[in-house]
Amino acid sequence: MNEDNIHSKTHVVAYLKFPELEADPDNSEILQKLNGIYSVVVNTLNHRRGYGNTSFGGQPYGEDTLSILVFSNNFIIAEELYGDESTQVEIISRVFEIVSIIQAAAKEKYQWSLWGYIGFSQFYISEKNKRDEFGFVWGNILPIVALREKAPEKYPGVSIDPDIHSFLDKVDVELGVIARYVDFVTEDSIFLKSDVDISINEIEGELPKLEMGKYIVAYLDMLGTVERMTNDSGDESLNAIYHLYLETFSHQKAFEDTRNKIPAAYRNPVMKANMKDLVGDPEIDAPKIKILSDNILFAVKASTDQEDNMQCLLRLIAFVSHFQTFALLYYGWLLRGGVTIGDLYIDDVFAWGPAIVRSISLEEKTAKNPRVIVDTPVSEFYSEFIRDSCTNLFPILILIRQDVDDAYFVSYQDIITDGAQYSSGEIQTITLKYQQALITLLREYRDNESVRKKVEWAIKYHNQISKERGCKISISAELIENIMGEIR
């Protein structure tokens, strides 16, 4: 067993969202209201343990095993399921209570309805203050919830997985959790009661105003990982994503260290004298990272200085390029996503803002193929910057290309052709690995038309890069035809 591996544990997990918020994603007041609901939960639980009110960010309920996170307009509540049966009943009851508080607060204060799902799940959440950790949340319940959201019949309210109800029905003889919290709505659906008596007027406390900042944001979605996550035995996909991040971080650091040694001849005289490179300036914040199962959010604080802002953009683009590269080469994963600039608030609990909504929209509605779309304001800034002041910039700038439909996208295969980090022989070897990975994917999905078309787009992109490099490691039409005709 790899000592560096991480491990999921059984949790009770609630995944919640507020349908009304989807119609008004740019309303900054929503962030304050979500923080108000979060504060109500924290202070209610802490009051019941005698802690009194806490400021934003307090540890709810004083339990290290309990986590509450807000990603865009979604609440995620998770508590590890441990101990004997009576302890497990108390844990389930506590999660029910938290959801009931959120439901009551949303309804009473803001007239919001709540949709959600509570179930058992193998779950992992990164530890705070651990040296190599980042905002990583993984659980096989999350793709299940995503599929339930797309179901044609979606009842309002928070449904409870039948396995939880069966467990309570069998072992709960003292706390009366079913009687207190559970309400049957249909023969095949179990819902949390929406009329639990919870007073929230005296416990909200004073809330600091959460201020969004301007960020350059990338949102990525790993294609075809739902089935792997749902059937993840031995935490294979969990550790694949974890090590994918560590590999990306390691190469990004080496990439930046190398580029800080760029010869002066490659630097643009228009750029300010103390600018070491477009990537790697220690004064530019490293990307903030949130990984929610197969959804990845990278964010870099934007600058008011145009040149510094280009550094921020290219640092983020380089990070995305490394991530896409290793996802394909190591695990055969193709990614789709969007890069934009906009308002965002991000910390240990919250990741919220119009920038997330826009980047997700680019992924879902514009990308279509396995590419990371660069939003129009970002591509225009990029183009204007090159035209006006950076005609001699180091070739890192080819990390953004324009596709045949005029959309700009992250050209991840160009991360290895900047001339500063890789020799010509290494470039040839890595290009061959790209080719082999795509051939493997084509064979795997040749009978799945939807996925195959995405692989075919990736092959066309690879062939274009291979042609430009002059290394003749393309995937020919004849080879594709032969693969399609192979007998299984």
Does 24 fall in a domain? Answer: yes
pLDDT recorded at residue 387: 65
Q: Is the dihedral of CA 254, 255, 260, 261 positive or negative?
A: positive
Statement to judge: residues 182 and 65 lie in one domain: yes
Parts of the chain with a pLDDT under 70? 1-3, 23, 25-26, 48-64, 127-134, 146-155, 184-188, 195-207, 225-228, 231-233, 253-286, 386-398, 417-421, 487-488
Report the CATH number at residue 349: 3.30.70.1230
Does 472 fall in a domain? Answer: no
Longest dimension (CA), the chain: 77
Task: Compute the distance between CA of residue 393 and CA of residue 308 in angstroms, rounded to an integer.
Answer: 14
Statement to judge: residues 355 and 405 lie in one domain: yes
Statement to judge: residues 225 and 99 lie in one domain: no
Statement to judge: residues 18 and 165 lie in one domain: yes
Statement to judge: residues 318 and 388 lie in one domain: yes
Domain encompassing residue 363: 213-422
Statement to judge: residues 222 and 188 lie in one domain: no
- Write out the E strands in 327-446: 335-346, 350-352, 372-374, 400-402, 408-410
Which of 370, 399, 422 marks a domain boundary?
Answer: 422
Statement to judge: residues 253 and 298 lie in one domain: yes
DSSP string, 133-144: --EEEEETHHHH
pLDDT recorded at residue 376: 93
Does 463 fall in a domain? Answer: no
C-alpha to C-alpha distances, 124 to 163, 378, 472, nearest whole angstrom? 20, 34, 43
CA angle 53, 57, 63 (to 5 degrees): 80
Statement to judge: residues 250 and 396 lie in one domain: yes
Statement to judge: residues 135 and 219 lie in one domain: no
DSSP string, 85-101: HHHHHHHHHHHHHHHHH
Report the CATH number at residue 121: 3.30.70
The dihedral over CA atoms of 186, 187, 188, 194, expressed in degrees to the nearest 10, equals 30
Statement to judge: residues 94 and 182 lie in one domain: yes
Which of 401, 422, 443 marks a domain boundary?
Answer: 422
DSSP string, 458-487: HHHHHHHHHHHHT------HHHHHHHHH--
pLDDT recorded at residue 473: 92
pTM for the full predicted model: 0.86
Statement to judge: residues 158 and 227 lie in one domain: no
Does 454 fall in a domain? Answer: no
CB-based burial, 454-488: b 16+ in 10 Å, e otherwise:
bbbbbbebbbebbeebebebbbeeeebeeeeeeee
Statement to judge: residues 294 and 404 lie in one domain: yes
Which of 363, 392, 422 marks a domain boundary?
Answer: 422
The dihedral over CA atoms of 378, 383, 385, 389, expressed in degrees to the nearest 10, equals 170
Helix count (H) and strand count (E) of the chain? 13, 16
Does 236 fall in a domain? Answer: yes
The total of structural domains in the chain comes to 2
Task: Compute the distance between CA of residue 69 and CA of residue 198 in angstroms, rounded to an integer.
Answer: 21
